[in-house]
Chain A
Amino acid sequence: MIFLCVLLNRKSKHSTNMNQNYLHILLADDDEDDRLLFADAISEVKVKTKLHMVNDGEQLMSYLEKESTTLPDFLFLDINMPKKNGIECLQAIRNNEKLKHLSVAIYSTSNAEKDIEDTFVKGANVYICKPNNFDDLKRIMKNVITTKWQFHTTGLNKETFLLNV
């Protein structure tokens, strides 16, 4: 039998699902415009999301390694970041006991097959080749997040979650 485990909020008389039914997303990108575009692109996706952003790889790793941080469900990393780039962060994450199970999406401007495969081999779950226009970005984010949501809610094997868009 399947139940919903909810928190009773006596003040509002509404009950909220224990895990809020949100997908917690963490974005690491050093470009402010790109961060805004990303936030915009995911705002229209039907899956409910909560977005947190950091500006570079070092900020990312210290955020993830903090004891009090609730780990995100899905991490988006720009491959080109100062201080610590996306690939270096990916490797650090996969080598860390506490973090290695996290779903990671890497986005890059390259669509070279070798780069794509290399990124997957190093442990990325999703590879996104940055599109030129906003409509394509929205379409891609809808696909990526909705697919991740299916893995999240149906207990599918996260290790085989691989998506190239």
Chain B
Amino acid sequence: MRYHINYNITLACKAIVKEKFTQMGIDYNLYEDGELELKKMISQDELLHINKQLAQYGIELIYDQKISLVNKIKDIIINNVNSDEQGFNTKLSIYLTEKLHHTYAYLANLFTEVTYTTIENFFILQKIQRVKQLLIENNLTLTQIANLLEYSSVAHLSNQFKKTTGLTPTAFQRIIKKRKEYLNSQ
């Protein structure tokens, strides 16, 4: 009897990676865009061993310098936005240059090449994400949030929020609240 085989390659690969890595006792995160993060550093030998295990399935792990650097930039920005220490609004470019030992022009170009957005836009997106979290938690006033994230004024925060999301902070809060009520009523 003849059948037709339907397969989902992504699903199959994820299952293979999971099985092999569990066998090898390696802790990892697999992201939606095909990036695989190992929680610990591994040696060249260890990488060779892993790739030997995966080769029979046509899967290989590659260490990508560019992506690694872009992720470092993202990590620095995310960590800064989410910590409560003094930020570096006007000094972001200098901070990145010093920490990562490349010119800002190089970092900026690389970042845009890999992520399709600018470092500046990514930074703003992260800040607005944090503002959203704080608005949902509802423990701080808009003024307090503006201060925490080093906006020069509530107006500045509201403007950036509206520009990024198309909604005012208050509209956002109202929507989230109504959403919860709506979902509970379903």
Within 8 A of A (CB), among B59-87: 59-64, 67-68, 71, 74, 78
Chain B residues in 8 Å Cβ range of A70: 8, 10-11
Of A31-39, A53-61, A76-84, A143-151, the segment with at least 4 beta carbons within 8 Å of chain B is A143-151
A-B interface pairs (CB < 8 A), number: 134
Beyond A3-B37, A120-B175, A162-B165, list 17 extra A-B contacts (CB 8 Å).
Answer: A2-B67, A5-B13, A5-B17, A5-B35, A17-B33, A18-B10, A70-B11, A117-B174, A117-B175, A120-B167, A149-B115, A153-B32, A153-B33, A163-B166, A164-B165, A164-B166, A165-B166
Task: Identify B59's interface contact among A18, A46, A156, CB under 8 A.
Answer: A18
- Nearest CB of B to A128, in Å: 10
Question: Which of chain B's residues has its CB closest to A3's CB?
Answer: B61
Report if B155 contacts A (CB, 8 A).
Answer: no
Taking a contact as CB atoms under 8 Å apart, the answer to whether B61 and A4 are in contact is: yes
What are 8 A-B contacts defined by CB distance under 8 Å?
A1-B40, A2-B67, A3-B61, A4-B62, A19-B32, A19-B33, A160-B133, A162-B175
Report how many residues on chain A are interfacial, defined by Cβ distance under 8 Å. Answer: 44
The interface of chain A, by Cβ under 8 A from chain B, is: 1-10, 15, 17-21, 46-47, 68, 70, 73, 94-95, 117, 120-123, 127, 146-147, 149-150, 152-157, 160, 162-165
Chain B positions near chain A (C-beta within 8 angstroms): 6, 8-11, 13, 17, 30-38, 40-42, 55, 58-64, 67-68, 71, 74, 78, 115-117, 122, 125, 129, 132-133, 136, 165-167, 171-172, 174-175, 178-179, 182-183, 186
